[in-house]
Every structure is written in C-alpha cells, then in structure tokens.
Structure 1
C-alpha cells in the first residue's frame, strides 16, 4: 500500500461505526472487549472528540473502504494518548498502520502535545515493533491511566 492509494481523513459521525468495527475486530481476536472499550467504541464522539481528541482513519482511495483507525485522546493540554489503533485484516503488514500513526503524531504536535503515550500488550508483536520504530520508549512507571486488563506495557515519546 502506498500513500497514493490511502488517504488519511478525520472523524465524522458517519465513521463512528467503522471505528467500532475495526477496533472490536482486533480486541476480540486477541483479548476480550472490556467495559471501557464498549463505552468508547459505542460513543467515540462523546469520549474522544468532545473531550478534545481526534480520530483519524485510513481510507483506500480506490475502493473508498475505511481500512484503519486510530484515536488521539486528550488527557491534558500537553499530554495525549495514542489509542484504539487498528488495521483491518487483509491490510495489515502493508504500511498503512505506520502512515496512520505518523498522521496521529502530527495531529498531536499541532495540538501542542509534549508527551504522547500509549498502553498496549507485548504479545501484539507487530504493533510493538511499529511503536519502537516510531520512537516510543517503554515507560517504566506502569501507572496505567485506563483500566484495561490487557495492558502490560506503557510507552511514551516526547514531541
């Protein structure tokens, strides 16, 4: 997948269902959907957009299909979380996740973010590799902000 065949677009209410479907797919494949997942996935506008965050999507320009999604959750004026990043099966390993993550990092910079963090699980090996390539480093103080049982690593980068 090249940048010519994918464009990055921001959240609109019509894309809420795509956000839910993409994220539910990977969560159900590797873990269990938790109460916090349900809350955010059922109303991303309320819990992510209206609180000062953003959701970006990767759209295949040829088919028009939404193939990936990633949220930027605001915690403070200068602190955001990269959250709920998923790529649809069949599009994984194509570089679309990296394109989307880079767009989310740029969005965080535009918003004045100084510290961008994420919470994940070490068994998601491709995701771990991507985060490291992007410059995220493990944050050893494992005080999780969000109560997801699946999270066993917190990573951060300073912008």
Structure 2
C-alpha cells in the first residue's frame, strides 16, 4: 500500500526487528514506562506475534522505518491492534491512519470477526484516529497493562 512516492506500508521482515522495538520504545517511554507485556512482544515479535498467527506492518519513509502496527491473534479468532507507533519526525503524514487501515484490511481479508485495542485516555490523537478508523469504546476487562484505561473494538 503506497501513500506517496516516499511512504510505503510493508509486511514486517526480520530486518525490522530493531526498528519495531525502537519505535514502540520511543512512544511508550514518552508517556509511560515499559511493562513486562511490552518487553515480551518487543523482544520477540516473531515468536510473540507472527508465529501465533499475527501480523506486523511497517511504514517506510524513503525506505526508513518510521511507523509500525501489529495484529495479535486472540484465542477466539479475533485480533488485537497493538504496538502502533509513528516516530515524532514523521507525525502529520497520516502514517498512523495508513497503518490502521492496512491492519483492518488484513483482518477483513482473513475474516476476523473483530479487532480490539487497549489504550489510554491521555493519548487523545490516537483515540481520535481509532474513532476515525471505526473503533468504538467497549467495557474494559482486566488486562496485562497498568496504563490501559480504555478498550475499543470494531466488528466486521
């Protein structure tokens, strides 16, 4: 999926491992602290996400990774949109929206019944993006993140 001649959304490759970690580390530590659940995913995205039936998308600007998003497969066949990040230097280029659309298109393609996400209410731009993509707030169950105070989902 090409946004312009300079931005492209591509499937994760092992060469993106460091960028996947760094992009998420950047936004999480800007607002919160890394938690055990973060480190599990960021230290082994292939094992934690891909080998369990998930997907990772990378946004490249002039070939450089500037954003990422993951679809993590849940036991019930639904997916979680997680580890979505865009580096500050690429904000304003609609890369987050493109990553979210790519993830939702993949979920529809594989007939996922829904995609859910966990976030925090202080992340207003992210919440607005999720609403623009079609997510709606649902009750927040117990989860692995101390920072999560909102759950959203989109059903197909």
Where 1:69 maps in the other structure, the secondary structure is strand
Q: CA deviation at 1:143?
A: 0.8
TM-score, normalising length: structure 2: 0.95
1:152 corresponds to which of 115, 129, 149 = 149
Q: CA deviation at 1:94?
A: 1.8
In 1, Cα distance between equivalents of 2:124 and 2:91: 13
Let me know the Cα RMSD of the aligned residues: 1.2
For the 8 Å contact 1:56–1:69, the answer to whether it is kept is: yes
- Deviations 1:125-147 (Å, cap 9, x if unpaired)? 1000000111100002x114x41
Q: CA deviation at 1:82?
A: 0.3
Asked if 1:47 is matched to 2:48, the reply is yes
Q: Deviating runs (4+, > 4 A) in structure 1?
A: none
Structure 2 equivalent of residue 3 of structure 1: 3
Pairing 1:1-159 to 2, within 5 Å after superposition: 3-4=3-4, 5-60=6-61, 63-76=62-75, 78-140=77-139, 142-144=140-142, 146-159=143-156
- Deviations 1:22-58 (Å, cap 9, x if unpaired)? 0000000000000111111000000000000010011
Q: CA deviation at 1:118?
A: 0.2
Aligned length: 154
Where 1:76 maps in the other structure, the secondary structure is coil
For the 8 Å contact 1:78–1:112, the answer to whether it is kept is: no
In 2, Cα distance between equivalents of 1:77 and 1:10: 24
Structure 2 gaps, min length 5: none
Deviates more, 1:73-82 or 1:129-138: 73-82
